[in-house]
Amino acid sequence: MNMRCFRVGIVALVALFGLQACNNLRPLYGTNGLESQSDVVTELSNIDIPEPKNRVQQLIRNNLISSMSPPGREGNGRYTLILRPSSREFNLVIERNTDVSRKSYRLKVAFSLRDGKSGQRVYSGNTFSEVSYDEITSEFANLQAKSDAEERAARQVSQDIRTRLAAYFATRSPSS
């Protein structure tokens, strides 16, 4: 019984120290209860994204704006986010004597966060998404399947970009 109490005491002590180590953790998008918005949310809402040049860039831009800015409001120009997407399609599976082939759509995006006044790059990165879809004998169905693949890929890369920007704003020094 004495050894069992000792083990329980050790486990409780380790758990107590483990919880103490979590004292400095805070939610990425949350507040500490003293302010109305976190710094991350405020900084994300200060990002402008230039008008797109193509449909895929428009999809990424729309996803980012809707996830980073309050409804009905775009960034105030403190930062500008430059997006450089490129895409590629290729066959995954081609079966002879069938009406269906499997396609893959790969979307790569290089992005650069720039200071709105000086234009200097403050953060940059690359991300990608690869999604697949079926191509059949119907042209309309193929167009719809490809469009859906583009939307899914754009949603995935925009979520990754938003998360990376939030992590950047959460970890940079306040004087930056």
Domain chopping of the chain, boundaries: 40-171
The CATH superfamily assigned to 40-171 is: Lipoprotein like domain (3.30.160.150)
User: What pLDDT sits at residue 54?
Assistant: 93
pLDDT, average across residues 61-84: 83
**In angstroms, how far is the first alpha carbon of the chain from the final one?**
57
User: What pLDDT sits at residue 2?
Assistant: 64
**Residue among 71, 61, 174 at smallest CA distance from 111:** 61
The structure tokens listed for 108 are: 């790569």
Coil, strand or helix at 40: helix
Task: With cut-offs at 50, 70 and 90, classify the pLDDT of residue 143.
Answer: very high
**Dihedral of CA 54/57/63/68: which sign?**
negative
Coil, strand or helix at 61: helix
Alpha carbon separation from 115 to 5, 46, 48 (Å, rounded): 59, 11, 10
User: What pLDDT sits at residue 116?
Assistant: 87
**Main-chain dihedrals φ then ψ at residue 160, nearest 5 degrees:** -65, -40
- Reported pTM: 0.76
Give Dmax (Cα) for the chain.
Answer: 76
Q: What is the pLDDT of residues 78-125, one digit of tens each?
A: 999 999 999 999 888 766 667 788 899 999 999 999 998 899 999 999
Percentage of residues of the chain with pLDDT beyond 70: 71
